[in-house]
Amino acid sequence: YRSMIGSLLYLTASRPDILFSVCLCARFQACPKESHLHAVKRIFKYLAYTPFLGLWYPRNSTFDLHTYSDADFGGYKVDRKSTSGTCQFLGNMLISWFRKKQNSVAISTTEAEYIAAGSCCAQVIWMKQQLLDYGIFFEKVPIKCDNTSAICLGKNPVHHSRTKHIDIRYQFIKDHIERNDIELVFVPTKDQIADIFTKPLDEQSFSKFRMELGLCEID
């Protein structure tokens, strides 16, 4: 089971569409059950039916940096911790993505989404610094979030007095908003691409977000 998970984790570097399923199964490596093994085999069956699916980077794509941030509030039923998922694009090209279970239990969707946006902000700041080496500068990089309360929390300092339970280290997102490094932008849930990293989806939504990630059949 551990060998299978290790192989799949390696594959997620080029197949972001299996990231959610693989990471979820990886949590049970210490004591896997038969049901977990069946779930992993289903991932392999999906890969067997999509052998030519890969990321496509078109040469005529625009070169603007934008990101998506999402969280599944209390989605992990074992300990009720939320899951953060983000992805970063240069134009239509997916260049970075990750999914991670949050360290502490969030007590509201606002907190879970704000923590996810904070992780996304850290990734954006690092990417901006890397792109400066190539003479490319971005201002107000949009972080697209589908939670209006989290967006208000980042923009309006009055809300912070009511959210002291959120760890202080996540408040740096407000500082970067004031410096015009990033901006929080609302995106409808139906257009939230990062959903594919945080929760199971129906076939139609999964196929739609997979295509928007840039995954297509490559001959």
In this prediction, residues 103-109 reach a mean pLDDT of 83
Please check whether residues 105 and 157 belong to one and the same domain.
Answer: yes
**Do 11 and 79 belong to one domain?**
no
| Lowest-confidence region among 44-48, 99-103, 158-162 | 158-162
Within 13 Å and on the Cβ side, how many CA atoms surround 69?
30
Compute the C-alpha angle 167/149/84, nearest 5°. Answer: 55
What does the pLDDT look like over 15-66, one tens digit per residue?
999 999 999 999 999 999 999 999 999 999 999 999 999 998 988 888 899 9
Q: Which has more pLDDT, 13 or 174? A: 13
Residue at which a domain ends, from 29, 51, 73 = 51
**Residue 158's pLDDT is what?**
61
Q: What would the pLDDT profile of 167-210 be if each residue is shown by its tens digit?
A: 666 678 888 888 889 999 999 999 999 999 999 999 999 999 99
Model pLDDT for residues 141-159, shown as the tens digit of each residue: 999 999 998 888 877 756 5
Residues 103 and 188 in one domain: yes
* Number of domains comprising the chain: 2
pLDDT at 169: 62
Strand, coil or helix: 27: coil
Residue 102 pLDDT class (50, 70, 90 cuts): confident
Q: How large is the average pLDDT for residues 111-116?
A: 89
Specify if 129 maps to a domain.
Answer: yes
- Collect contacts of 175-183 with beta carbons under 8 A, ≥24 apart: 176/121, 176/125, 180/139, 180/140, 181/121, 181/124, 181/125, 181/128, 181/139, 181/140, 181/141, 182/121, 182/124, 182/125, 182/140, 182/141, 182/142, 182/143, 183/140, 183/141, 183/142, 183/143
> Is 125 a member of any domain?
yes
CATH number for the domain that contains residue 91: 3.30.420.10
Amino acid at 141: V
- Same domain? For 31 and 138 the reply is no
156 & 107 share domain? yes
Tell whether the model's pLDDT for residue 160 goes beyond 60. no
d(CA 80, CA 106): 8
Q: Are residues 3 and 78 in the same domain?
A: no
Domain that holds residue 186: 65-193
Which residue in 130, 129, 97, 131 sits closest to 116, CA to CA?
Answer: 97
Distance CA(137)–CA(170), nearest Å, equals: 24
Same domain, 117 and 83: yes
Please count the other Cβ atoms lying within 10 Å of the Cβ belonging to residue 94: 19
pLDDT at 108: 84
pTM (2 d.p.)? 0.90
Q: Strand 215-217 relative to strand 53-55: parallel, antiparallel, unpaired?
A: antiparallel
Q: What integer pLDDT is reported at residue 218 of this predicted model?
A: 81
Do 87 and 189 lie in one domain? The reply is: yes
Same domain, 101 and 27: no
Identify whether residues 142 and 34 lie together within a single domain: no
- Judge whether 207 lies within some domain: no
Amino acid at the residue 174: K
Q: What angle do CA 180, 186, 189 make, to 5 degrees?
A: 145
Query: Do 35 and 201 contact (CB within 8 A), yes or no?
Result: no
Q: Note whether 83 and 141 are same-domain residues.
A: yes
Same structural domain, 81 and 14: no
pLDDT at 162 over 60: no
Flag whether 81 is in a domain.
yes
